[in-house]
Structure 1
Amino acid sequence: MSIEMITLLFFGSLLLFLVLGLPLTFVLGGVSVVFLYFTWGPDAFYMVASQIWSTMGSFSLVAIPLFVFMAMVLERTGVAKDLYRMMFLWWGGLRGGLAIGTLVICAIFAAMCGISGAAVVAMGTIALPSMLERGYDKRMVLGCINTGGGWGILIPPSILMILYSLITGVSVGQMFAAGVLPGLLLMVLTCAYILIRCYFQPELAPALPKEERASWPEKLKALRAVILPMLIVVMVLGSIIAGITTPTEAAAMGVFGALLSAVVYRKMSWELMRDASIRTFKLTGMIMWILFAAHAFSAAYQSMGAQELFEGWITSIPGGPWAVIITMMVIIFFLAMVLDPVGIMLITLPVFLPVVKAMGFDPVWFGILFVINMEIGYMTPPFGFNLFYLKGVVPPSITMKDIYVSVIPFVLVEIVGIALIMMFPEIATYLPQLFF
């Protein structure tokens, strides 16, 4: 049987079982194992086991449960509530100020923990009712929280970046450094969009009445809310950039900072520790199964010779290297609407990354573009995780249609951000080159 027919059967089977609703991890692993058996026989299983064994010895993997546990603990402290009150006092007098303050809080949360859902749930619970009560347009508020929550996988630390590094061999530290400036760029672009839109349509996000605005002593006193989050950010990112710790060791420092927050806010209890630990075990277990499936998929993919086939197809795209990169971005963008981000990594990176390297592009820069697309996937219909996180905390009067429609202008802003990073790669590569 020709390689084209085998590849068609392989990916056709994957697609069929995914459409039937089976879990992605078991589809990837199961189909890969079956094709390995019929391609190479029982001996092929030793190759998968050998690859899994070598990955399980990776020190970087330790960071995953630590960052997850850190996020679970921070979600239950009072950090988000105090941060929102501080932003409310400082930004409330500006049109769209509460929305901008919410975006800043989301960026701070992203710099404290490496997952997306924590900021969405926290801001959906705290900021959403406050803004709706003050006459903010519901779709602007929903889109704002949805977008800001997605930065958890872009602004380091990021679990998705750790997985990207494990799959591609790129340095975790370089990926973390590369995510800082693009994350800030997207925050500035989104804030600018809100300011400009509110200038022309002030009814969307009215400023607080003068009697509700804070005095300077109140504003300065409220700044205390930033001290603990900033301490955690410095402990995690500062220690990596300064070369004091590896990303894995920095994750342990982040856990210490999260536990310190729980103590300061008087939320530390056995119940908190138990719930955070159980959720961490569940999420980490899921990630480990995904890694097992990744190795089975990678072994099957390479043994069939499909990698060379796909590389030939991609490099034959007319228009040169930039046309290839843009095509890749479009493919990833649409895949992100329907598939899990880690699944997309497993399916696309073995194909795309050798081509990216062969054309002379920086894999760290490509990784940032990839992660931003995954972030957009978190907020876009029909299966964006943030959409469902948000639906779980909004009032009954807000429909799923409202949540779906709210993301459209914010997705366009994110696409502008991707275009800027493509035109000016230094936005992503400057800090990795400076520190590493």
Structure 2
Amino acid sequence: LISLPIMLRYGYDRRLASGVIAASGTLAQIIPPSLVLIVMADQLGRSVGDMYKGAFIPGFVLTGLYLVYVIGVSLLKPQWAPALPPEARTIREPNGDSGLRSLGILFGLVLASSIVLSNNYSALLSWRAGHDVVAATDETIVVAMTFGILLSLALALINSALKLNLLSRMAERVTFALVPPLTLIFLVLGTIFLGVATPTEGGAMGAVGALIMALMRKRLDMRLLKQALNTTTKLSTFVLFILIGSTVFNLVFQGLDGRVWVEHLLTSLPGGVLGFLIVVNILVFVLAFFLDFFELAFIIIPLLGPVAEKLGIDLIWFGVLLAVNMQTSFMHPPFGFALFYLRSVAAKNDYTDKET
């Protein structure tokens, strides 16, 4: 709704613009706090926090691969992603400078301070406790990132309040724009990784934080709130009906010893664990063309989980692997939700910008 018209305005290829939006939107299904991971953890009998920790690095690796692909397309076919024209770069310093150097210096300072803190975090905890303390990796990452974000916000506020002109307008605006959503992410993920809140409590704090941000920016009214409640009720009803149907199916399937047949079939596949993983991923990929995520999670995953555990596969790793696979179901025709969402907000006719 926001990004597509802007990219089309400045000459981006339609295929690249729509593909980037649809593909990047599906990343929310595997990056915490993800509803997909919550359902997956429930079906595999593992904690949501462990599933979040397991998906943290793969999610960001996949994000990085998307970035590399877009950069590669931009270099190989620059006409598909042309540079922003000079007249569109509205944030400039009085001397005409873009302010990107100041932004780069601020980013480097924040990154360096976060790395220094992460390397010495265990030592700080040991000094405070009076004995050796080894901090968990996820806790160290969250604390270091939080420190970097707060440092950038403090520098931007001081520079703006005292008119020091040490930071450019670009650096200030980027900082003030990024800190609120990053704070929202910390309320959800940071509290979970630090052990302050359970995944349910973290999600609740994230929802409250999002409402507060919407109110502060004057983007929430009764019409939007009513629409959100209506959509949430429909989705919850939809999920509950699938859950009831899948439970009945599983009970009947188990009563007919279907689990035993499936277990014997999958454990007897050639190739052992590797053969099982290859067949399962192909099966899930094909089924995703016709079933959405909830149907796969409630019907297929309970059949595969016990077999994977019997073969000695870590269920957290197995769940993240299947979540990444099922993430593609949001882009599969004929039932790809990302495609329907994109089509609902895209222009029905050829796009013509009034300015360009």
Q: Normalising by structure 1, what TM-score?
A: 0.61
The unaligned stretches of length 5 or more in structure 1 are: 1-124, 400-436
Structure 2 match to 1:264 = 216
Counterpart among 211, 218, 221 of residue 172 in structure 2: 221
Whole-angstrom distance in 2 between the partners of 1:167 and 1:382? 26
Higher helix share: 1
Matches within 5 A, 1:302-341: 302-341=254-293
Structure 1 match to 2:104 = none
**Deviation readout 1:341-373 (Å, 9 max, x if unpaired):** 111123321221111111111111111111111
Matches within 5 A, 1:90-109: none
Matches within 5 A, 1:217-296: 217-223=168-174, 224-296=176-248
**Deviation readout 1:246-303 (Å, 9 max, x if unpaired):** 0011111011101111111112333332222222122112222222222212211111
Structure 2 match to 1:384 = 336
Whole-angstrom distance in 1 between the partners of 2:193 and 2:310? 29
Whole-angstrom distance in 2 between the partners of 1:197 and 1:271? 41
Structure 2 match to 1:160 = 36
Whole-angstrom distance in 2 between the partners of 1:347 and 1:180? 25
**Letter aligned with residue 194 of structure 1:** V
Matches within 5 A, 1:16-415: 125-213=1-89, 214=91, 215-216=98-99, 217-223=168-174, 224-397=176-349
Whole-angstrom distance in 2 between the partners of 1:384 and 1:396? 19
Whole-angstrom distance in 2 between the partners of 1:218 and 1:396? 37
What is the SS of the residue equivalent to 1:257? helix
Whole-angstrom distance in 2 between the partners of 1:353 and 1:378? 22
The unaligned stretches of length 5 or more in structure 2 are: 92-97, 100-167, 352-356
Q: What is the CA distance between 1:211 and its match in structure 2?
A: 4.0
Structure 2 match to 1:413 = none
**Letter aligned with residue 32 of structure 2:** P
**Deviation readout 1:209-260 (Å, 9 max, x if unpaired):** 2343342133213211111111110001000000000001111101110111
Whole-angstrom distance in 2 between the partners of 1:398 and 1:334? 33
What is the SS of the residue equivalent to 1:392? helix
Structure 1 match to 2:105 = none
Q: Normalising by structure 2, what TM-score?
A: 0.74
8 Å CA contact 1:297, 1:346 repeated in 2: no
Counterparts in 2 of 1:197 and 1:268: CA distance versus 1, 3 Å:
closer
The CA RMSD over aligned residues, in Å, is 1.6
Whose Rg is larger? 2
Whole-angstrom distance in 2 between the partners of 1:291 and 1:376? 22
Q: Percent identity?
A: 36
Whole-angstrom distance in 2 between the partners of 1:275 and 1:142? 25
**Letter aligned with residue 264 of structure 2:** G
Whole-angstrom distance in 1 between the partners of 2:282 and 2:192? 33
The more displaced of 150-159 and 260-269 is 260-269
8 Å CA contact 1:239, 1:250 repeated in 2: yes
